Amino acid sequence: MSLLISFFSGLIFGLGLIVSGMTNPVKVIGFLDIFGQWDPSLAFVMMGAILVGFFAFRHTKKTHKTLLGETAHLPTGHQIDRPLLLGAALFGIGWGLAGYCPGPALGSLLSGGLKPFIFTASMIAGMMIFHRLHQS
């Protein structure tokens, strides 16, 4: 049951990315290009997603349980520290260069030709480098 939910969540997430325009890197760069011809569309993606997500997370924050009665895994970190800010800064640079963030890159593997493969392979390499360097 839980695995089926995971699959459909991923599927609906990916369909939402396609409908919203997020799988088009040029459009994403148009959103970040506030000093040029700015395309504010992606702000509407965020608004739509948070509008729905807010109510779901409000419920989960209160109960700390799923609707099926199991423990919900909510993030526990509150600290705004150096790794958070440095990591976000590096991610933003890569996002601005390519117009891909992780979701749209994976959601373009079957439709976008070679380029999302190159990006995704390199992204996974970047993750593995992090894991290697930060293994305690």
Partner 1 sequence: MSIDTVNFTPYASLAGGVMIGFAAAILILFSGRIAGISNILGGVVRFSETRQNQWRIFFLAGLILSPWVYGLFFALPDAKVELDNLGLVVAGLLVGYGTRLGSGCTSGHGVCGLSRLSVRSLAATLVFILTGIITVYLTHH
Binding positions for partner 1, 84-113, rule CB under 8 A: 84-103, 105-112
At residue 24, the 3 state secondary structure works out as coil
CB 22 within 8 A of CB 104: yes
- Residue 71 binds partner 1, judged by CB under 8 A: yes
- Residues of span 32-51 touching partner 1 by CB under 8 A: 32-42, 44-51
Q: Supply the minimum distance, in Å, between the C-beta of residue 136 and partner 1.
A: 13
At its nearest, how many Å lie between partner 1 and the CB of residue 10? 3
Q: Binding to partner 1 by residue 78, rule CB under 8 A? A: yes
Say how far apart CA 11 and CA 95 lie, in whole Å.
22
The DSSP H or E segment spanning 42 is helix 41-63
* 93: its two tokens: 């640079």
Closest approach, Cβ 84 to partner 1, in A, equals 5
